A and B are shown apart, each in its own frame.
Chain A
């Protein structure tokens, strides 16, 4: 028994070490005058809460696997904090990235790099990366960018963007407002719809939410694996969200704005908070024509 326990302990420790090494290889020992100030820390599963309290829930909802944290110090300078999240798949990394995006300006680092006030975020392959300093200064900001470039280069492959994005006309919506999800709990974090899964979202579906430039309404596009699931989700949404539309799929809601819903092939398209009925229909039609 003792031998078996030691063997299992060895296997588990080796596995942890392997995982740490896998993420560790993306992290350089130094950048400019900044040097790794202590050993990196690896967080797996529920351990993420030890690091970031309740904020870890967003990562968990996108199937978070592991996080490595490395701090860098340079005399008389800001501490640099690097976080690399292994999200298990590119779609999860992209989904988490969309939760964070929209707060800064785009930079050419990793995939969709974004920087604001000392915080650089990007995704690449199955990884989501954050690098931050608390107070910006020229030298520290440059080091953040340099670190970002080194880490992005160390991740060898790019992640595939979700196919559903191809159906969005880029000029119609605020790119920074885009949120990607595939479960209703994720959607509710971005835009609260209902306390139940009325759009019947699951791991085999996917969705994208954007805010339109013209009228500031919200557009939701959900893709389903087949027509049967699409029909069920459409009926469910109409039943629970707009029973007063009497099956027409358009209704003036309590905030004096319009919500409209249509289904097309294996997709459900919904506009929330359009200023007029006509505008809601025009927006839906615009997006519908983009579908394959």
Chain B
């Protein structure tokens, strides 16, 4: 038997809480001298109404503020210019899951910011399941990844990493071992090096699910936040921490997510497409503080 990584290795390295996030993944990559991944968490008390409908104006303000902070610019326009050229062909990868889709207000805002950065209307497309048939995505020079975070029956959680599963013609190839290799999606030629921005929506996340395609309002709460960054792994890692904290609050005990969402740590340790270790993430919190959970 080759070297075995056990539950104890995870406890030793990261503590009990992180075990679930890192199960099954080598943990011993060199951490020295690495630049931290920056993640912006921004929240607003009124971003969604009681029915979960997004206020577009407030969303625009939140995204603009996050962009300025993320790219350390004076204006949001300057921030967008750091990541997008007018000649870019841009695919906005959204998510159409019927119960918790990427809201139209989010898609519209992203598109309008791309237009403001000089990208031609004809060179922007928003898609989910049709990306491999979409001519804009097929010739895209830049991608924006935007979707809500939720508990997932097989991957543990579904966030930025899982959102790219439609970029492979054989999604089932990534299903083994609770989708542990989702990070490999970011190395596909159609994706590699193209993702300029990730927006993980924590507006009304789902923190528990009872089975495939399960949605229930009991397991959804109005967190009213966005995670914004260039590192999809770091966004998923922070999103997972928030989901875990909500589960502790709701279930009144440390009830692990099943199956363990190990694909997040694997994306760092095995595939090297981002940072999952919270010690290597610079989390900047903006806006509304009540119930921030992290």
A interface, CB within 8 angstroms of B: 46, 49, 52-58, 99-100, 103, 116-119, 121, 130, 132, 134, 185, 188-190, 192-198, 216, 236, 240-242, 253-255, 272
How far is the CB of B159 from the nearest CB of chain A, in Å? Answer: 14
Assess the A134–B215 pair: CB atoms within 8 A: yes
Assess the A240–B218 pair: CB atoms within 8 A: no
Residues facing A in B192-227 (CB within 8 A) are 210-216, 218
Residues facing A in B1-48 (CB within 8 A) are 1-2, 4-8, 10-12, 15-16, 19-20, 23-24
- With A193-B7, A194-B5, A198-B4 known as contacts, the answer to whether A117 contacts B172 (CB < 8 A) is no
Closest A residue to B262 by beta carbon equals A192
Assess the B213–A103 pair: CB atoms within 8 A: no
| Contact segment of B101-109, B175-183, B279-287 | B175-183
- With A194-B5, A194-B7, A196-B2 known as contacts, the answer to whether A119 contacts B210 (CB < 8 A) is yes
Assess the B213–A52 pair: CB atoms within 8 A: yes
Q: Complex formed: what's the CA distance from A100 to B155 in Å?
A: 15
| Contact segment of B65-73, B86-94, B117-125, B252-260 | B252-260
Assess the A117–B216 pair: CB atoms within 8 A: yes
Q: Complex formed: what's the CA distance from A56 to B187 in Å?
A: 25
Assess the B4–A195 pair: CB atoms within 8 A: yes
Assess the B179–A253 pair: CB atoms within 8 A: no
In the bound complex, residues from chain B placing their C-beta under 8 Å from that of A55 are 152-154, 211-213
Assess the A185–B177 pair: CB atoms within 8 A: yes
Q: Complex formed: what's the CA distance from A242 to B6 in Å?
A: 10
- With A53-B154, A58-B154, A119-B210 known as contacts, the answer to whether A196 contacts B4 (CB < 8 A) is yes
Assess the A190–B258 pair: CB atoms within 8 A: yes
Q: Does B171 contact A (CB under 8 A)?
A: yes
Q: Does B292 contact A (CB under 8 A)?
A: no
How far is the CB of B72 from the nearest CB of chain A, in Å? Answer: 38
14 residue pairs bridging A and B, Cβ less than 8 Å apart: A49-B172, A53-B171, A55-B152, A56-B175, A103-B210, A118-B216, A189-B178, A190-B258, A192-B10, A195-B4, A195-B24, A196-B4, A241-B8, A255-B11
Assess the A100–B211 pair: CB atoms within 8 A: yes
Q: Complex formed: what's the CA distance from A234 to B17 in Å?
A: 28
In the bound complex, residues from chain B placing their C-beta under 8 Å from that of A56 are 154, 172, 175, 212
Q: Complex formed: what's the CA distance from A57 to B174 in Å?
A: 10
How far is the CB of B285 from the nearest CB of chain A, in Å? Answer: 28
- With A54-B154, A119-B214 known as contacts, the answer to whether A194 contacts B171 (CB < 8 A) is no
- With A134-B215, A198-B4 known as contacts, the answer to whether A253 contacts B177 (CB < 8 A) is no
Assess the A119–B211 pair: CB atoms within 8 A: yes
Assess the B5–A216 pair: CB atoms within 8 A: no
Q: Complex formed: what's the CA distance from A267 to B244 in Å?
A: 35
Interface centre among A49, A57, A198 (most CB of B within 10 A): A57
- What 20 new A-B contacts, CB under 8 Å, besides A54-B155, A118-B216, A216-B253? A46-B172, A49-B175, A52-B153, A52-B212, A53-B212, A55-B153, A55-B212, A117-B210, A119-B214, A132-B211, A132-B214, A185-B177, A188-B24, A189-B259, A190-B258, A192-B24, A195-B5, A236-B1, A240-B4, A255-B15
Q: Complex formed: what's the CA distance from A55 to B10 in Å?
A: 25
How far is the CB of A98 from the nearest CB of chain B, in Å? Answer: 12
Q: Complex formed: what's the CA distance from A134 to B10 in Å?
A: 37
Assess the A189–B258 pair: CB atoms within 8 A: yes
Q: Complex formed: what's the CA distance from A105 to B215 in Å?
A: 18
Interface centre among A185, A193, A194, A236 (most CB of B within 10 A): A194
Partner of A241, one of B6, B20, B215: B6
Assess the A194–B6 pair: CB atoms within 8 A: yes
- With A130-B211, A196-B2 known as contacts, the answer to whether A54 contacts B8 (CB < 8 A) is no
In the bound complex, residues from chain B placing their C-beta under 8 Å from that of A195 are 4-6, 24
How far is the CB of B167 from the nearest CB of chain A, in Å? Answer: 15
Partner of A192, one of B15, B23, B172, B179: B23
Closest B residue to A216 by beta carbon equals B253
Q: Complex formed: what's the CA distance from A52 to B152 in Å?
A: 11
Partner of B210, one of A116, A189, A197, A272: A116
Assess the B172–A198 pair: CB atoms within 8 A: no
Closest B residue to A244 by beta carbon equals B8
In the bound complex, residues from chain B placing their C-beta under 8 Å from that of A116 are 210
Q: Complex formed: what's the CA distance from A158 to B4 in Å?
A: 40
In the bound complex, residues from chain A placing their C-beta under 8 Å from that of B6 are 193-195, 198, 240-241
Q: Complex formed: what's the CA distance from A198 to B7 in Å?
A: 12
In the bound complex, residues from chain B placing their C-beta under 8 Å from that of A46 are 172
